[in-house]
């Protein structure tokens, strides 16, 4: 909510103010705003900035790298950062095709998510598929963490059915990863000996911990591994041969173990153990650099993780802690700073940077004194160190952009010399935490605003607005 008060003015000033406000994204700051959705979803979904355009190098051929990821409103920020990291480090970004799996009943519909991805990555090759949660919901048992019971965690089991039939090979990535190497290197790994999937193996881990005593005490179930020597592997990064997957009906084999779990409780860890039961000991071992997992530690509890020894191509924040959450809470773990450059979320606090553009009023309204009250959600002030509730600042010049050829890069002395009035203009801003309908009595105690703009709400949304709106 924005309220304008003029010490000297006329009706033409209203037009100028409105034109300035609606053209905010086009001015020198260069911050792009995306349209809100017709669906009833959080505005947070559209607080992303557009990614840079990434183009192929001269040596790129026409072969396509297929990547599958889930896409939902809760982990959207992680998914966008992961995609950004892939494009940023691959030599042939135009050859990458993303297959996004979206839940049918997510608060953000697949249609909305499709538009959002297109806004952020205009030239990205991708397709959004709808995952029918009822296909797996009756097979999911309770887990040690509620988050592990999300049906979308099981979407990887159904990639052979969900993706287009002509997609015969895919890299599956979790939403909490970033790459710092070329994804093409991972794509080019050969799956030898008729293996269906490839992933980094961790044979030093205690494999018995992934299953209950009920499982290990059953001589029939333990024969599942046969002559294999099973080792733990993380399913957040996998190279998958979907032709062999479909031919071997591995989706059904995984579902069979999930049915056993519903009856006998043979594991605790959600979607991982069925994969281990079917594939452990028979996967293509990939270099550990491609899944530096387990980084979801907790800075407050002192459990921030460090990297495993050796080179790193992919960082994976598996576990409870996510880097975007810890950054927002101002308590990131050291490795979270590696994730941050790929984050395209600009958040409510970043909108405060746009307020500097109102310095343009010095040129548009010479000799006029304007006071602007900004009323915004409390979260904007609690997460930002830019301004505080009740703080007043004065804009003494234009908003300067940084580019050398920027046409609006000028100084206070320059614009004052072009005005035809001796009376200086004055622009002041005051920031208020909360909602306008809650604070309007306080804001209108001295005098009423001459113009009220509510860009994200209907004018008649609250009856308490009417006295000030009608008077203004």
Q: For residue 399, what pLDDT is reported?
A: 52
Q: For residue 465, what pLDDT is reported?
A: 47
Vertex 283: Cα angle to 282 and 285 (nearest 5): 125
Most confident of 108-117, 428-437, 463-472: 108-117
246 pLDDT more than 60:
yes
Residues 6+ apart with CB under 8 A from 252: none
Beta pairing, strands 125-131 & 96-103: parallel
The per-residue DSSP string of 212-251 comes to -HHHHT-TTGGGGGTT----EE-TTEEEEEHHHHHHTTHH
What per-residue string of b and e applies to 295-331 under the rule 16 or more CB within 10 Å gives b? bbbeeeeeebbeeeeeebbbbbbbbebbbbbbbbeee
Q: For residue 353, what pLDDT is reported?
A: 59
What are the structural domains, with CATH classification, of the chain?
2-31+348-471 (no CATH), 43-342 (3.90.550.10)
Q: For residue 287, what pLDDT is reported?
A: 97
- Per-residue pLDDT tens digits for 386-403: 667 778 878 766 554 444
**Residue 29, beta-bridge partner list:** none
Displacement of CA 137 from its chain's centroid (Å): 25
State pTM to two decimals: 0.71
Q: For residue 471, what pLDDT is reported?
A: 44
């Amino acid at each position: 909510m924005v309220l304008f008060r003029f010490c000297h003015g006329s009706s033409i000033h209203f037009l100028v103010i409105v034109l300035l406000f609606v053209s905010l994204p086009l001015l020198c700051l260069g911050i792009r705003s995306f349209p809100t959705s017709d669906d009833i979803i959080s505005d947070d979904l559209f607080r992303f900035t557009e990614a840079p355009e990434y183009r192929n190098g001269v040596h790129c051929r026409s072969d396509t790298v297929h990547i599958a990821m889930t896409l939902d409103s809760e982990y959207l920020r992680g998914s966008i950062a992961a995609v950004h990291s892939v494009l940023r480090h691959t030599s042939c970004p135009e050859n990458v095709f993303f297959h996004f799996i979206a839940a049918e009943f997510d608060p953000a519909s697949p249609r909305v998510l499709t538009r959002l991805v297109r806004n952020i990555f205009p030239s990205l090759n991708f397709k959004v598929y709808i995952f029918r949660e009822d296909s797996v919901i009756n097979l999911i048992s309770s887990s040690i963490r509620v988050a592990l019971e999300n049906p979308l965690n099981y979407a990887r089991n159904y990639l052979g059915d969900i993706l287009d039939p002509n997609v015969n090979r895919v890299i599956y990535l979790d939403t909490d990863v970033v790459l710092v190497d070329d994804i093409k290197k991972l794509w080019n790994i050969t799956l030898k000996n008729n293996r269906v999937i490839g992933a980094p193996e961790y044979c030093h881990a205690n494999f018995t911990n992934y299953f209950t005593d009920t499982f290990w005490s059953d001589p029939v179930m333990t024969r599942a591994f046969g002559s294999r020597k099973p080792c733990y592997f993380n399913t957040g990064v996998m190279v998958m041969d979907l032709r062999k997957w479909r031919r071997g009906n591995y989706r059904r084999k995984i579902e069979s173990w999930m049915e056993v779990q519903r009856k006998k409780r043979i594991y605790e860890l959600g979607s991982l153990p069925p994969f281990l039961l079917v594939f452990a000991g028979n996967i293509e071992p990939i270099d550990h650099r491609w899944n530096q997992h387990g980084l979801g530690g907790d800075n407050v509890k002192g459990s921030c993780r460090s990297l495993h020894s050796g080179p790193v191509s992919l960082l994976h924040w598996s576990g409870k802690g996510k880097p975007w959450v810890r950054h927002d809470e101002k308590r990131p773990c050291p490795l979270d700073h590696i994730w941050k450059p790929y984050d395209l979320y600009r958040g409510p606090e970043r909108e405060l940077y746009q307020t500097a553009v109102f310095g343009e009023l010095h040129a548009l309204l010479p000799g006029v004194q304007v006071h602007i009250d900004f009323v915004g959600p409390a979260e904007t002030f609690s997460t930002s160190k830019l301004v505080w509730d009740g703080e007043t600042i004065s804009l003494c010049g234009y908003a300067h952009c940084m580019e050398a050829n920027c046409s609006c890069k000028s100084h206070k002395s320059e614009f004052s010399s072009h005005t035809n009035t001796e009376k200086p203009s004055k622009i002041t801003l005051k920031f208020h935490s909360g909602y306008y309908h809650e604070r309007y009595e306080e804001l209108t105690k001295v005098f009423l605003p001459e113009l009220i703009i509510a860009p994200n709400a209907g004018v008649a949304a609250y009856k308490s607005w009417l006295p000030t709106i009608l008077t203004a």
